[in-house]
Amino acid sequence: MTRFAAPISEQIWDMKYRLKQADGTPVDRSVEDTWRRIARSLATVEDDADAFEAEFYAALEDFKFLPAGRIVAGAGTDRSVTLFNCFVMGTIPDSMSGIFEHLREAALTMQQGGGIGYDFSTIRPKGANVHGVAADASGPLSFMDVWDAMCRTIMSAGARRGAMMATLRCDHPDIEAFIEAKSDPARLRNFNVSVLVTDAFMEAVKADEAWELAFDGKVMKTLQARDLWNKIMRATYDYAEPGVIFIDRINKANNLAYCETIAATNPCGEQPLPPYGACLLGSVNLARLVGDPFGPDAALDDAALERLVASAVRMMDNVVDASRFPLEEQAQEAAAKRRIGLGVTGLADALAMVGVRYGSEEAARLTEDWMHRIARAAYLTSAQLAAEKGAFPLFDADKYLASGALEHMDDDVKDAIRKHGIRNALLTSVAPTGTISLFAGNVSSGIEPVFAHAYTRKVLQKDGSRTEEEVVDYAVQMWRDRNGDADLPDHFVSAQTLDPMDHVRMQAAAQKWVDSSISKTINCPEDISFEAFKDVYMQAYETGCKGCTTYRPNAVTGSVLSVSETADASPAEAQKSEEGEVIYMSEPLSRPQALEGSTYKLKWPGSEHALYITVNDLIQNGHRRPFEIFVNSKNMEHFAWTVALTRMISAVFRRGGDVSFVVEELKAVFDPRGGAWMEGKYIPSIIAGIGGVIERHMIATGFLAGEGLGLKSDPQAQVVALGSTPAKACPSCGSFEMRMVEGCMTCAACGHSKCG
């Protein structure tokens, strides 16, 4: 018997979370070993380590508590990685030396796997005078371009790129350029961007008043607030960014308003953090806590929920002590406040199990009740931990209890905090859970609705044959197991059928009992009117949300893969589904005795010896696809990195799928010492030169259609995007199942997410 509810869950575990030796030999023989590794590691700081190891294991078992991926992959290993997911970097000084010192800090943080947020509002606007150098400032966007280029060169731990969030205040003189920056599809690809919207601005929008853009007290432009709001709305309507963060609401509701000011969030927006703020994440799997699912007595097990929350809070508090930190400032900030971000996943599945339609008034009421129970249990546990181990160092009882987030907390919880203090300054957050939700059996993600009740993965086997693998939502599969082929009840809904205001209702209901924030995407139909779209954001503001992120499929953002939810699809729909298949490799292909290939000479200017690059191809069904690469040179300075590079690229080639992304990744690497001009083109690094050689080979063999056209079709994939606009390919596995989940493009096939 396997603990995994679906084949994709075991694949996610093996790819992302299973501890292996450097040569790929598994250390974790089973998922039970993974749970044991985490439990043992996080219990080591306890006086009675054995007892708490057993408690922690019980919480992890059967995917009831899901620590964030960095904890699952890193706890109990010797890897030099952080177990924290979220960082906001220090306040950027308005000086060249200060700016580049913070660029260095960002690189160190992303190198250890942390996603970062930055507020660029402190940098003077473009055209402002730079004292003492007789020059004009280049503005915050020019430095964001530098950050973006740096991010492309940093591969985060676990083969993830660092994700970044950039914020700018709504009264900064460069706000209009910031709003429009991502209309250029080649710019700021490694950033999510959000506007920091103040209460004063929202009131000015509603009253149609003038709005001043100023820096250092100097007004540089005046415009109508409603015109600026419409620019924000039009940009996100057209290309899904920028997001909106209601920054005054965040600061007023912050438990720590007495000792910190927040101006930025982590990449997905669920963690508003102060300078050098850090937070770790974990989620209670509500789908595993429903008793008598779909039955007459279906209900969430409140006692089990409280026990699980208590164990989860203690585990996460221990992570604060167990984790490494990229910077000492981050370690000090984490120790001073001991923030944690406990959230939920599987909410939509749990609602379906108790017979409630996601997005309904009843679902909002039930969600608020469940989140209240979680917050109550978390705060009581943290107060008990304070009695046992001490409150967080910056705790001030009177100021803390007077904060906005504690305003509606239960009196007995306040009494416990007043008596004992509290161990963790903030405790709750709803984070993106795309990958760990797949790991847990494809439960619905976070507080999002079910995206699709089922979809089919087509897997290419080693012998060239294809097998089909259905990926079914956890609650849907449970219904099938109990009711066979019976139709799903009407209360089963998906993101494709919900009204945007249903999304807002659910986010607002959850936000009341979340002391940090929520990562949530409000899906909007492509044909929603601009006025109705703006109403979504205004409703989010009026109902108490701390931010708003929407996704409307269009020609810029792309559309997601269409999913047929019914068995009686029309012949045209059936044909579309047949054409829209996505092929995945089941395991690496075996190497034949002989392969066809070509060798290319690359002479890098200034280097004494040339590189000789050999690319060998596998022939399948009459098509050539790259299978392995070798790089040779007499220059011993290159030996170690060329061997490592060739092994990694060859490993990617042998997994199959659309591997043309390798070209783009290599060509984006720049050398800080400078690149070189070769054959009339500027090549930013020798690595980029190798990428160019691979691209030339792929074009020559027909694997790519032509240079400069972006990702090309894989002869084995036979992918056709469905809908009126093109879908985007996953840069990790090549599938066309990228979807916007909780503010971040996430692959439903492999769990890849640029937000980490």
C-alpha to C-alpha distance for 629 and 650, rounded to whole angstroms: 6
C-alpha to C-alpha distance for 619 and 612, rounded to whole angstroms: 23
Q: Which amino acid appears at position 220 of this protein?
A: M
> What's the pLDDT score for residue 720?
29
In a domain, 480, yes or no: no
Q: CA torsion angle for 399, 400, 406, 411 (degrees, to 10)?
A: -90
C-alpha to C-alpha distance for 94 and 111, rounded to whole angstroms: 25
How many domains does one find in the chain?
Answer: 2
> CB 386: neighbour CB atoms within 10 A?
21
Q: Which amino acid appears at position 513 of this protein?
A: W
C-alpha to C-alpha distance for 730 and 744, rounded to whole angstroms: 13
Residues in the chain: 756
Identify the residue whose tokens are 């100021």.
399
In a domain, 411, yes or no: no
Task: Tell me the sheet residues that pair with 458.
Answer: 468, 583
Question: 671: Cβ–Cβ under 8 A, 6 or more apart, which residues?
Answer: 684, 685, 686, 687
* 755 noted as active-site residue: no
In a domain, 559, yes or no: no
- The residue from 681, 700, 719 where one domain ends is 700
**Three-state SS string across 47-72, please?**
CCHHHHHHHHHHHHHHHCEEECHHHH
> CB 658: neighbour CB atoms within 10 A?
25
Q: Reduce the DSSP state of residue 753 to 3 states and report it.
A: strand
Contact 730, 660 (CB under 8 A): no
* 483 noted as active-site residue: no
Identify the residue whose tokens are 């199990």.
353
In a domain, 114, yes or no: yes
Catalytic residue among 86, 151, 170, 268: 268
In a domain, 261, yes or no: no
Residues of the chain with confidence (pLDDT) below 50:
155-160, 560-585, 707-726
In a domain, 165, yes or no: yes
C-alpha to C-alpha distance for 319 and 25, rounded to whole angstroms: 27
242: cis peptide before it, omega within 30°? yes
Name the strand (E) or helix (H) holding 477.
Answer: helix 474-483
- The residue from 700, 718, 742 where one domain ends is 700
Range of the domain at 186: 90-253
Contact 502, 358 (CB under 8 A): yes
Catalytic residue among 55, 241, 270, 448: 270
Contact 504, 538 (CB under 8 A): no
In a domain, 574, yes or no: no
Q: What is the CA radius of gyration of the chain?
A: 26
C-alpha to C-alpha distance for 238 and 439, rounded to whole angstroms: 33
Q: Which two tokens stand for residue 432?
A: 């993106």
Q: Reduce the DSSP state of residue 727 to 3 states and report it.
A: coil
Q: Which two tokens stand for residue 548?
A: 């708003």
C-alpha to C-alpha distance for 61 and 65, rounded to whole angstroms: 8
In a domain, 75, yes or no: no
Burial class (CB within 10 angstroms; exposed 0-12, middle 13-18, buried 19+) of 332 = middle
Q: Reduce the DSSP state of residue 739 to 3 states and report it.
A: strand
> What's the pLDDT score for residue 756?
53
The conformational region for residue 292 under phi > 0 = left, psi -120 to 50 = alpha, else beta, is left
Q: Reduce the DSSP state of residue 223 to 3 states and report it.
A: strand
- The residue from 654, 674, 700 where one domain ends is 700
Q: Reduce the DSSP state of residue 469 to 3 states and report it.
A: strand
C-alpha to C-alpha distance for 523 and 149, rounded to whole angstroms: 30
- The pLDDT tens digits of the residues spanning 529-538 come to 999 999 999 9
Contact 164, 192 (CB under 8 A): yes
C-alpha to C-alpha distance for 319 and 475, rounded to whole angstroms: 31
- The pLDDT tens digits of the residues spanning 126-165 come to 988 876 665 688 899 999 998 888 887 664 333 345 589 9
Give this prediction's pTM: 0.78
How far is CA 420 from each of CA 36, 103, 637, rounded to the nearest angstrom? 32, 41, 60
Contact 223, 211 (CB under 8 A): yes
Q: What is the DSSP letter of 98?
A: H
Q: Which two tokens stand for residue 433?
A: 């859970």
Contact 429, 85 (CB under 8 A): no
Task: Tell me the sheet residues that pair with 167.
Answer: 119, 194
* 270 noted as active-site residue: yes
> CB 692: neighbour CB atoms within 10 A?
20
